[in-house]
Amino acid sequence: MTPWTPDQPLVSIRNVHKSYGDIEVLKGISLDVMKGQVICIIGPSGSGKSTLIRCINALNDIQSGSILVEGQEVHDPKLDKLALRRKVGMVFQQYNLFPHKTALQNVMMAPIKVLKENRAEVEARARDLLKKVRLEGKENHYPGELSGGQQQRVAIARSLAMRPDVMLFDEVTAALDPETVKEVLVTIKDLAADGMTCILVTHEMGFAREVSDHVYFTDKGVIVEHGAPADFFGNAQDPRTRAFLDQVL
């Protein structure tokens, strides 16, 4: 196999099928994400958005098809999972911070324990990252002492500390109060502006329109329609997309 080069898609998904038992949740999904691109996946509840995103970092397995991250097959049984997970960062809807560790420790843990990096270097980087997500001064707070939006930004910093090449965001603002949604969206926007490759599942249509290079609409396990945001939101063709957009906009 030829090595991956940045002119090829960083994430390449081809005809992916995934079932839970007898129920097929993904029915042949294909999409490409180039380096530095931000794509949004939108669609009704249960359409398989989370499932798809979890397949990209091998939290879920797939029945057929292929998912390449930097040219490496994610569902190769011989895959080095650690190698994959340093490349792919993931942020969850429920933040999932480690409750027994402070914000700073949450960010530092994986680089030290998993990558065996030098503690002093990691700490400097972690402090920088917390500053970047605008949480200066909260380093020694435990997750239980932070608001939802603050916890989510710690979770983003925690993922970034592994220096991933692509970030996956699964409805990261869905559990937040309306006031704190914005601070998290701003953080993601900063990241995108810095050139981070992002795959976002979101219900924030205004945000999707503003931040993304490409929007995918999924329904019942297939991609119904996709396009550049201006096109997609202004000129949707499929009646299912229109019905969905009418409902959420």
**List of residues contacting ligand ATP (CB under 6 A):** 20, 25, 43, 45-51, 171
* Structure tokens that stand for 167 in this block: 């970030």
The site map against another protein for 132-171 (x = CB under 8 A) is ------------x-------------xx--x---------
CB-CB contact of 160 with 40 (8 Å): no
User: CB-hemisphere CA count at 13 Å for 17?
Assistant: 8
Shortest Cβ 99–Mg ion spacing (Å):
23
Shortest Cβ 54–ligand ATP spacing (Å):
8
**Main-chain dihedrals φ then ψ at residue 21, nearest 5 degrees:** 60, -125
Shortest Cβ 222–another protein spacing (Å):
26
* Structure tokens that stand for 196 in this block: 């981070």
Q: 130 or 236, CB closer to another protein?
A: 130
Q: 159 or 241, CB closer to another protein?
A: 159
Q: Give the burial string for 10-49 (b: 16+ CB within 10 Å, else e).
A: bbbbeebebeeeeeebbeebebebbbebbbbbbbeeebbb
The single residue among 11, 38, 90, 199 that binds another protein, judged by CB under 8 A, is 90
Shortest Cβ 151–another protein spacing (Å):
12
CA 177-182-183 angle, to 5 degrees, is 100
Which helix (H) or strand (E) segment holds residue 197: the answer is strand 197-201
User: Which residues in this chain contact another protein in the complex, by CB under 8 A?
Assistant: 57, 59, 81-82, 85-86, 88-90, 92, 94, 96-100, 109-110, 113-115, 144, 158-159, 162
Q: Which residues bind Mg ion (CB under 5 A)?
A: 50
